[in-house]
Amino acid sequence: MAGILAWFWNERFWLPHNVTWADLKNTEEATFPQAEDLYLAFPLAFCIFMVRLIFERFVAKPCAIALNIQANGPQIAPPNAILEKVFTAITKHPDEKRLEGLSKQLDWDVRSIQRWFRQRRNQEKPSTLTRFCESMWRFSFYLYVFTYGVRFLKKTPWLWNTRHCWYNYPYQPLTTDLHYYYILELSFYWSLMFSQFTDIKRKDFGIMFLHHLVCIFLITFSYVNNMARVGTLVLCLHDSADALLEAAKMANYAKFQKMCDLLFVMFAVVFITTRLGIFPLWVLNTTLFESWEIVGPYPSWWVFNLLLLLIQGLNCFWSYLIVKIACKAVSRGKAGKWNPLHVSKDDRSDIESSSDEEDSEPPGKNAHTATTTNGTSGTNGYLLTGSCSMDD
């Protein structure tokens, strides 16, 4: 074990040339980031999760009820042992051949069986009230952490001149505010890792799980080798659009369509501006070029920048989905009375749905048509959960 730890904490990987871990031990004059500080994130992640449960129960739920958002779920499918067995053990989306076989076995018409499977799929989806409470919690946290980040960073020299991220590196003391900001963000992402298995299941579960892992690794990595200054820039920049997104979702659930449309447009503008403009031109510029000039590359420097480039790849992907939705909204608007702020209900459902579609097609449509219509966008929670902060 000692050999493994010595290999993992190899100074030649983590630190610049001629710097040792002994040089970064805490003294009476200065405090530096220590790897053991990060253990605090685990109990704090549990505390954040408990605060969330209390918030959703005693704050978000009363707000939802005041906005006339009901907890009524979808229509319950009538009990049927044969169809239930097919649904749970074989498939939730039977093909034409299986539908015809079930029709003969039950003496039901195919349309009735399609309706049963549609109702049964919808039955597993959370109510609008549950969605609203989750979004209100995320909105509140994102707004708080972004506000805190802005208030903290405006007092720091590296916000105004990013070269200060690398002056005297890695002998940059850890302040109380910076430590709190980092541990809070890390704890939140750990809480998302745990709660993702109990939250609303979305089609982008795998990608968001990967995203949370990258965020946790990036926050941890930058803290251990004391790249926390530039890390705060990444965190705050990526937090900027998240509150707008959750606000748009809440407006959607409350049926405030104009407000939802406006908030979505604001979110799209902020997201694309920060992720595709400011992040590469400001943050990646300092991590790739200014740091090379002032500090020089070393092994963990390469890893850190590769992770940031991976985050930028996710940013490009999500930006593409946002633009795609916006183009669909504009093209649909041109068919009638065009409104640049109008995002139709169908477009919003493209970016906010559970693991199955709403399946609300008219009775005359067949199952194949419904699947094709509802499944074209594939954007789902990519946008509406996105965001990471060190990411997203």
Provide the residue-wise pLDDT of the chain in tens; the chain has 392 residues. Answer: 888 888 889 999 999 999 999 999 999 889 999 999 999 999 999 999 999 999 999 999 999 999 999 776 667 888 889 898 988 888 888 999 999 999 988 999 989 999 998 888 887 778 889 899 999 999 999 999 999 999 999 999 999 999 999 999 999 999 999 999 999 999 999 998 888 777 766 666 777 788 888 889 999 999 999 999 999 999 999 999 999 999 999 999 999 989 998 999 999 999 999 999 999 999 999 999 999 999 999 999 999 999 999 999 989 999 998 998 888 877 776 444 434 444 444 444 434 444 444 444 433 444 333 333 333 333 333 344 333 334 44
Residue 276 falls inside a structural domain: yes
- At residue 204, the pLDDT reads 65
- For residues 117 and 247, membership in a common domain is answered with no
Q: What is the span of the domain harbouring residue 92?
A: 81-124
- At residue 200, the pLDDT reads 64
- For residues 96 and 227, membership in a common domain is answered with no
- For residues 39 and 86, membership in a common domain is answered with no
- At residue 214, the pLDDT reads 87
Among residues 164, 307, 168, which one has the least CA distance to residue 238?
307
- For residues 113 and 214, membership in a common domain is answered with no
Residue 214 falls inside a structural domain: yes
- For residues 318 and 219, membership in a common domain is answered with yes
- For residues 106 and 53, membership in a common domain is answered with no
- For residues 116 and 193, membership in a common domain is answered with no
- For residues 304 and 257, membership in a common domain is answered with yes
- At residue 73, the pLDDT reads 66
CA-to-CA distance for 75 and 84, rounded, in angstroms? 16
CA-to-CA distance for 245 and 232, rounded, in angstroms? 21
Residue that is last in its domain, among 325, 340, 355: 340
Residue 279 falls inside a structural domain: yes
**Residue 308 phi, psi (nearest 5):** -65, -40
- For residues 296 and 265, membership in a common domain is answered with yes
Residue 163 falls inside a structural domain: yes
What region does 168 belong to: left with phi over 0, alpha with psi -120 to 50, or beta?
Answer: left
State the DSSP code for 75. Answer: P
Among residues 57, 67, 90, 105, which one has the least CA distance to residue 260?
67
- For residues 118 and 214, membership in a common domain is answered with no
Count of domains observed in the chain: 2
- For residues 44 and 103, membership in a common domain is answered with no
State the DSSP code for 165. Answer: G
- At residue 122, the pLDDT reads 82
- At residue 203, the pLDDT reads 66
Residue 330 falls inside a structural domain: yes
Strands (E), 291-366: none
Residue 12 falls inside a structural domain: no
Measured CA to CA in angstroms, residue 352 lies from 62, 127, 195, 323, 357 at distances of 23, 13, 18, 15, 10
Residue 328 falls inside a structural domain: yes
- For residues 135 and 93, membership in a common domain is answered with no
Residue 366 falls inside a structural domain: no
